[in-house]
């Protein structure tokens, strides 16, 4: 005859240091018949709990957060190796600093006087009902993260390695031309968000003058709109920070790096859009872009250093384009996050679907990214590579 499984006892609620009025309030609360045990001091609780006589799920302490009965008591109980429990503090003082201290110490919640009976009942009943789930050690679920198939990874390494070998004369020629035309680094990198929101360094050939902002001032008289506002500065230093960066201090949050030279990528992106369609500032010929830079942009040669990103595993040949940090942080809803569950790539579906066919909205681009994430495979990647070749020589910027 099989014995019935032993059901563990329901967790108790331990209340420590409550005054008479608060004690009466808890006795009136509808806590679904959960047992209440009262202790005058934290030491009384520790002694009873250590003896193994109690199955405590929630500990409620009336004390200020930094008082001896607050965080210090909590840390003392934790050091004793007692079973895991959830801790609630009842206090009068509550600031952002004390909140952070409480959360870092392991406090589940805190209620400030005067206490509201209904809120106490709702929160405590939830903690008791879900006690086992809440105290269970968290295990990160990585099953949804995209993993590059072995065949795709082998192809990426072979294709990128072969391309680097065959295009080495082009690399050398572009390197020399950029050096001859303007001073500054030949390569630069910016931070991008790829598969699974992983951040990596994204490499390119430099296609603009390092002192592009100064050269723009020299051509200010060519502005087609009188009284136009100046475009954002593109060379980063402590004097030129975008408004969003200024809010976080004297540090740019969206920096592009090239040896010792830095740019604010968000300013660059904004000014680029302004140059292409702004009603306030427009130049017929943009002096920021070098002659070599204009050619390598139109032919996408400036993208070739990303073959190294493929070799080291940051990207694939085909996939969704990795995004700047300030764009990726806006795409965290279910509608858009699917695009990050696919490989990050040099070329992809939206580059070949819309290139040369007119304007493409941001929504269209994101929908194409999602379509690729849902339905991609090795042979479809080969087809996209073949369709990319004629698209490289179209001037439209998408």
Reported as a single tens digit per residue, the pLDDT across 144-165 is 566 788 889 999 999 999 999 9
Residue 96 sits at the vertex; the CA angle it makes with 110 and 118, to the nearest 5 degrees, is: 30
Contact residues for 124 (Cβ-Cβ < 8 A; gap 6+): 13, 29, 31, 34, 58, 60, 88
Q: Is the peptide bond before 114 cis (omega within 30 degrees of 0)?
A: yes
What SS3 state is found at 90? Answer: strand
pLDDT at res. 77: 86
**Per-residue confidence (pLDDT) for residue 62, from 0 to 100:** 93
The pTM is what? 0.49
Confidence of residue 1 (pLDDT cuts 50, 70, 90): very low
Confidence of residue 53 (pLDDT cuts 50, 70, 90): confident
Beta-carbon contacts of residue 236 (< 8 Å; ≥ 6 apart): 252, 255, 262, 263, 264, 267
pLDDT at 167 over 90: yes
Range(s) of the chain covered by CATH 3.40.50.2300? 12-135
Say whether domain 12-135 belongs to CATH 3.40.50.2300. Answer: yes
pLDDT of residue 11: 80
Angle, alpha carbons 201-205-233 (nearest 5°): 80
Cα(346)–Cα(313) distance, integer angstroms = 12
Asked whether residue 179 carries a pLDDT value surpassing 60, the answer given is yes
Lowest-pLDDT range of 83-97, 325-339, 349-363: 349-363
- Residue with more model confidence, 228 or 218: 218
With a cut of 50, say whether residue 67 has pLDDT above it. yes
DSSP assignment of 43-74 equals HHHHHHHHTT---EEEEEEES-TTSTTTHHHH
Contact present, 127 and 134 (Cβ < 8 Å): yes
For 297-320, the pLDDT digits (tens) are 888 899 899 999 999 999 999 999
Pair 255, 262: CB distance under 8 Å: yes
Question: How do residues 243-288 score in pLDDT, each as one tens digit?
Answer: 666 655 555 655 665 545 565 666 656 555 554 443 334 455 667 7
Q: Are strands 255-258 and 187-193 parallel, antiparallel or unpaired?
A: antiparallel
Question: Has residue 214 got a pLDDT over 80?
Answer: no
């Amino acid at each position: 005859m099989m014995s019935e499984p032993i059901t563990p006892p329901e967790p108790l609620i331990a209340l420590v240091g409550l005054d008479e009025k608060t004690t009466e309030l808890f006795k009136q609360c509808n806590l679904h018949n959960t047992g209440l045990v009262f202790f005058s001091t934290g030491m009384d609780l520790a002694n009873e709990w250590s003896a193994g006589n109690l199955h405590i799920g929630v500990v409620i302490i009336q004390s200020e957060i930094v008082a001896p009965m607050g965080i210090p008591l909590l840390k003392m109980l934790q050091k004793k190796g007692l079973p895991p429990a959830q801790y609630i503090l009842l206090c009068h003082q509550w600031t952002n600093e004390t909140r952070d201290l409480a959360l870092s110490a392991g406090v589940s919640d805190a209620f400030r006087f005067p206490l509201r009976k209904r809120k106490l009942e709702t929160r405590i009943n939830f903690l008791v009902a879900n006690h086992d789930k809440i105290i269970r050690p968290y295990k990160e679920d990585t099953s949804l993260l995209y993993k590059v198939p072995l065949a795709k990874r082998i192809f990426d390494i072979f294709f990128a390695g072969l391309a680097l070998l065959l295009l080495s004369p082009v690399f050398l020629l572009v390197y020399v031309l950029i050096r001859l035309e303007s001073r500054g680094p030949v390569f630069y990198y910016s931070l991008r968000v790829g598969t699974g929101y992983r951040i990596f360094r994204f490499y390119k050939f430099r296609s603009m003058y390092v002192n592009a902002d100064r050269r723009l001032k020299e051509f200010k008289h060519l502005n087609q709109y009188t009284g136009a506002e100046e475009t954002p500065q593109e060379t980063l230093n402590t004097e030129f920070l975008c408004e969003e960066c200024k809010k976080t201090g004297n540090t740019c949050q969206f920096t592009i790096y090239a040896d010792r030279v830095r740019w604010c990528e968000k300013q660059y992106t904004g000014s680029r859009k302004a140059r292409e369609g702004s009603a306030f500032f427009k130049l017929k010929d943009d002096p920021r872009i070098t002659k070599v830079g204009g050619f390598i942009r139109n032919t996408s040669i400036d993208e070739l250093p990303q073959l190294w990103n493929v070799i080291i595993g940051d990207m694939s040949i085909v996939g969704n384009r990795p995004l700047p940090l300030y764009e990726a942080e806006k795409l965290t809803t279910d509608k858009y996050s699917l695009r990050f569950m696919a490989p990050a790539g040099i070329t992809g579906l939206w580059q070949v679907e819309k290139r040369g066919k007119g304007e493409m909205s941001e929504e269209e681009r994101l929908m194409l990214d999602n379509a690729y994430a849902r339905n991609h495979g090795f042979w479809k990647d080969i087809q996209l590579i073949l369709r990319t070749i004629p698209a490289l020589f179209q001037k439209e910027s998408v």
